[in-house]
Amino acid sequence: MSTKQGVKLLKKIRLLEPTMPTRATGVFKGEASGFLNWNDILYEKFYDVYTQVLNNFWKPSQVSMVQDKKQWGELDKNIQDKFLEILTMLSGLDSLQTPTLIEILKFIKDPAVKAILANFAQQESIHNESYSYVNSSLIPLERQKELFKKIQSHPQVIKRNKPIVDAYQRFVDEPTPQHLFEALIHSTNLEGIYFYLAFAFYYNLGRQQLMTGTATMISYIHRDEMVHFDFIATLVQILMYEYPELNTEENVQFIYDTIGKAVELEKEWSEEMLGDIEEKADIDLDEFHDYIEYLANKRLRMFGLDNLYEDYKENPMPWIKTFDDESINLTKTDFFEQKSRTYAQVSTSNGFDEL
């Protein structure tokens, strides 16, 4: 590990270290040749994750937008506006992920983890393409540019994104184990908390048989993100194992505080987006707020921590259960057009039974 004015930094990997073992002795620390032999890896779960990522592969062009185009003009103007603003916001969030994952890759010793994160980065690019694909199907380029300009300067968007952007930039500027830990927790918030108003909004349209192409695409993105944040939680646990000095009460509190703050910001965002059209959008925001707390508890349990909020015995947003984490995770199915697109199913042996 190198130093910068007395601060211990993670050491950037060399592309190959032929004298080192093929099987990595650590993910962030240890030795590794850089050669990848999937039959000789540090943790078997890594291959399960890699296989799941490949099985989940999809392209935006596979989803028909014909019906969405027909229905677009029939939507209420306020619903149209929120549809586009939320979609553009998603594009902004996912734009952060590809370059950040590439930065993290520079410090990963284990070639299996490098392969997984490289695929995650590619998936995030596909997500961005999908938002552009939807926009290009519905509105002209000039309107798209206006939306991006609006979102880039929107006070609530800036407030919401600032903790994540700051954490990512701290890691890029000073790649210490602590800053990596903080960036990974914020990544969990981005993919495991921040996207869920958007998911609920588009799923709500889909269950009314409206904009089903968009809702189908969102279900694919949803499932990708579940694999991402589950694996990121695994990396956090490995990081804390390899750097035991990270195992502090302060860092446990950091997880609680950061996830709690993300929940409050997602609630604020929901009020900003839908507060004045809650009835028209047919979403109960109080119910949604309970749902976000329910999800936050699940994210905390991924880190082996106790619930922060009321222990919801059932999903507090019953209608979304058809499209929630457990249902999306079972199979690649078009929920809205009812066309089977089944790939390999996830099982408890893959470690995704508690998403």
Active site annotation includes 194: no
> Which residue carries 């779960």 as its tokens?
45
Q: Choose, from 131, 196, 202, 203, the residue flagged as catalytic.
A: 131
**Cross-strand pairs, 3:** 8
Q: With 0-12 CB in 10 A as exposed, 13-18 as middle and 19+ as buried, what is 65?
A: buried
Within 8 A by CB and 6+ apart from 89, the residues are 151, 157, 198
Number of neighbours of residue 185 by Cβ within 10 angstroms:
23
d(CA 187, CA 236): 11
The Cβ of residue 350 has, within 10 Å, a number of other Cβ atoms equal to 18
Which residues lie across from 333 on neighbouring strands? Answer: 340
3-state secondary structure of 42: coil
Angstrom CA distances, 151 to 92, 155, 160, stand at 8, 9, 12
Pairing of strands 333-334, 339-340: antiparallel
C-alpha–C-alpha distance, residues 94 and 164, integer Å? 12
Catalytic residues: 131
